[in-house]
A and B are shown apart, each in its own frame.
Chain A
Amino acid sequence: MLWTALVTMISDMTALTLLAEVSGGASDSWFWIVLTGAATNIACALVGCFLVLRRMSMMGDALSHAVLPGLVVAFLFSGSLNIVPLFLGAVVVGLLTTFLMQTLHQYARVPSDASMGVVFTSMFALGVVLIKKFVSGHFDLACVYEGSLELVVLAETVVGLPRPLFTTLVVLVVNLLVLILLWKELKITSFDPALATTMGISATGMHYLLMALVAVTSVASFEAVGSILVVAMLIVPAATAHLLSDRLAVMVPISAAVGVLASVLGYVAARHWDTRIAGMMTVAAGVLFALTVFFSPRYGICSTVVSNLRMSLRVLREDLLAMLYRVEELDRAKRLTPAEAREAIGGGWLSRWSVAALRREGRVIMDGPQLQLTDIGRESARRMVRSHRLWETYLVEHLGMPLDHVHEPAHRVEHFIDEQMAQELKANVDSSKQDPHGRAIPE
């Protein structure tokens, strides 16, 4: 299965190479750089979504550091930077790290975050020492941190592709395959590991599988973007997607798209300011995340603020309407002036706005110097008062609350009672004609 996929992929690659040549010739490095960045981002985003949902984002950070000694040892044994032994080393050390963290937490009662910190930093230190001791000529330590996407084009080519790109694409395909084949298993173990286990899907097994994928992905991305920026690629697009969607099946493609967008924007920005590309891709992802935080349609800060403001204004307008209705009810002739009405709902610019808005909507008109409900206005006010009085009746009859304590809750709730709930209330209270204060409940 895997091998057929690889073969298909390789033939696709040839197509891509052709595409690259068409779009500006092999000398144009931007294509390869952006492609590598995007491929890395997609590969990371695929597994990153699960990290974020499982609340294990820091595992990305931990594993991308912890695999270092594995890489060195693999290199020492194989004597080359061939990806197969490197991946093997990464997987072995990644799983070992995961195992150690769990063991420390379970058997030595080290808090889970501390056990993560202890293991990955120690592993990383070990890696640093091993590099200095045995292979200082082959590994650039600074590269572990930053990566050098710029150099992608200079790398030797495999089947017509720069090696880092090839590596990343292989990982991308592997991630994609695992995701497609084990979609429901990953989903259920992320959502409810206990349930999954009772259904015969090993949550532990899936955990280790995911961690192995993270280890491999971060190794593949090392050369291009470095160990920390890979954390950004694992987490930031996924977290961005999480703010934009409520469904896993939507979240995964969105995160991949965010990753691609970040690579393109990052590349453009880096070229514009002439700085490091990988770093700029990270910053671009960060900016996209920040934009989402503010402007996400459902979970953004702006939309929350706006909807809160809207809500308060609505409440204010409705309070005003209900008040006018009550005044009318008490004394058919009595009317309020706009100033009196504003005063009664707390004054200030909000109340001024409310009165103006009601007039604009045609729910209130000026009758000489006084406010007068229109038919539409009276209708909505009637519904409000009805909700209020039904609720008061319900509180007294069903919850046994004292008479003098029902107005305040009813005043709060009346704005949130829809027709269905009002019907329900009406069916539930005995005296649907009068409220506990003896006033008529409007139909």
Chain B
Amino acid sequence: MLPTAFEIHDMTVAYNRRPVLWDIDLEIPEGKLVGIVGPNGAGKTTLIKAALGLVPLASGKVEIYGKNYRQQRHLVGYVPQRESVDWDFPVTVRDVVLMGTYGQLGWFRRPGKAQRAIADRCLQQVGITPLANRQIRQLSGGQQQRVFLARALAQDAQLYFLDEPFSGVDAATESAIFELLHQLRSTGKTVLVVHHDLQTVRDYFDYVILLNMRLVACGPVETSFTNENLQMTYGGRLTILDEAAEAMRQREPER
């Protein structure tokens, strides 16, 4: 039996008191490549952010290798959405990748030779070594995504969270990234990827989390990525769920 890498218990997340994730409960064994799939506004990004402690939980808990996230931070690598940063920021590609090592460095210590070596290795892994000294705005969308991936690799984590790494990237990058994720898995890492191209789910992932405000299914692709579950995930708006969430946000007395 594989150890559990990532576990969520009874987690509810609310923005402005409006619930966006209802009572999620799931468990991911180590060494899986996991796709997080669901329609827009299903709470995929929120799931990741909640797992990383970036948004507060209304209830429930998140565990990484059996312990609280705070204690296990060093085991976690994160690739945020590409739009989340200012690409005009005056840093080079290598600078950004070096940021992945900051966590291990701790306060005050500067990245030295060892860290630069790590960064160079990660750059090479994602195939953008020649671009190391470019300013990040001068890259294409796919290249920018590779930079973020390299930064996550430099974190040298056990568990990776990737938020839409395939959005706005070219086909070559997509397959390169996927190749890399496979390599990670083969070295025993667990990778969770927010994804919304349903056609590639079967090819890319061996585990899938189907999400639409609540957990529809979580399990191996063969058993969980079924038409019936997809129907449940994508089939129509959950009007009543929406209405209830809205009522909770407004807190209008019912009588």
Contact = CB atoms under 8 A, between A and B. Distances in A.
B22 A409 contact: yes
Contacts of A413: 244, 248
A262 to B, nearest CB: 32
Contacts of B171: none
B197 interface: no
B243 interface: yes
27 contacts: A308-B251, A311-B253, A391-B244, A395-B22, A398-B238, A400-B217, A400-B229, A400-B232, A402-B25, A408-B12, A408-B59, A409-B12, A409-B22, A412-B248, A413-B244, A413-B248, A416-B244, A416-B247, A416-B251, A416-B254, A417-B244, A421-B244, A421-B247, A424-B240, A424-B243, A425-B240, A428-B240
A276 interface: no
A394 B240 contact: yes
B12 A399 contact: no
Interface string B225-252: 0000100100000101101100110010
Nearest to B229: A400
Contacts of A394: 240
B23 A401 contact: yes
Given A405-B25, A412-B19, A416-B254, 9 more contacts: A311-B251, A401-B22, A408-B59, A409-B19, A409-B214, A418-B247, A421-B247, A424-B240, A428-B240
A416 B240 contact: no
Contacts of A400: 216-217, 229, 232
A409 B240 contact: no
Nearest to B254: A418
A406 B215 CA distance: 12
A78 interface: no
A307 interface: yes
Interface residues of B, number: 25
Contacts of B251: 307-308, 311, 416
Contacts of B232: 399-400
Interface string A410-426: 00110111100100110
A109 B88 contact: yes
A409 B23 CA distance: 7
Query: Which of B243, B244, B247, B255 has its CB near the most chain A CB atoms (within 10 A)?
Result: B244
A80 to B, nearest CB: 47
Interface SS of B by simple majority = mixed
A109 B59 CA distance: 43
Interface in B63-88: 88
Given A307-B251, A408-B10, A416-B247, A401 B240 contact: no
Query: Which of B23, B214, B215, B217 has its CB near the most chain A CB atoms (within 10 A)?
Result: B23
B238 A399 contact: yes
Contact of B253 (A314, A401, A402): A314
Nearest to B248: A416
Shortest Cβ-Cβ A-B pairs, 10 listed: A416-B247, A418-B254, A409-B23, A405-B23, A409-B22, A413-B244, A416-B248, A311-B251, A399-B214, A408-B23
Interface of A: 109, 307-308, 311, 314, 391, 394-395, 398-402, 405-406, 408-409, 412-413, 415-418, 421, 424-425, 428
Interface in B121-141: none
B244 A401 contact: no
Contacts of B238: 398-399
A401 B214 contact: yes
A421 B240 contact: yes
B254 A417 contact: yes
Interface string B25-66: 100000000000000000000000000000000010000000
Nearest to A311: B251
Contacts of B217: 400
A425 B10 CA distance: 23
Nearest to A110: B88
Contacts of B12: 408-409, 412
Nearest to A304: B251
B115 to A, nearest CB: 30
B254 A399 contact: no
Contacts of B240: 394, 398, 421, 424-425, 428
A428 B248 CA distance: 20
A416 B238 CA distance: 17
Contacts of A424: 240, 243
B41 to A, nearest CB: 15
Contacts of B214: 395, 399, 401, 409
Contacts of B244: 391, 413, 416-417, 421
Contacts of B59: 408
Interface in B167-223: 214-217
A401 B19 contact: no
Nearest to A402: B25
Contacts of A401: 22-23, 214-215
A415 B12 CA distance: 17
A416 B214 CA distance: 19
A433 B254 CA distance: 24
B182 to A, nearest CB: 31
A401 B109 CA distance: 48
Nearest to B246: A416
Nearest to A310: B253
Nearest to B88: A109
A413 B253 CA distance: 13
A394 B243 CA distance: 14
Given A314-B253, A412-B248, A421-B240, A399 B10 contact: no
Contacts of A314: 253
A406 B251 CA distance: 21
B243 A421 contact: yes
B214 to A, nearest CB: 5
B228 to A, nearest CB: 9
A373 B121 CA distance: 71
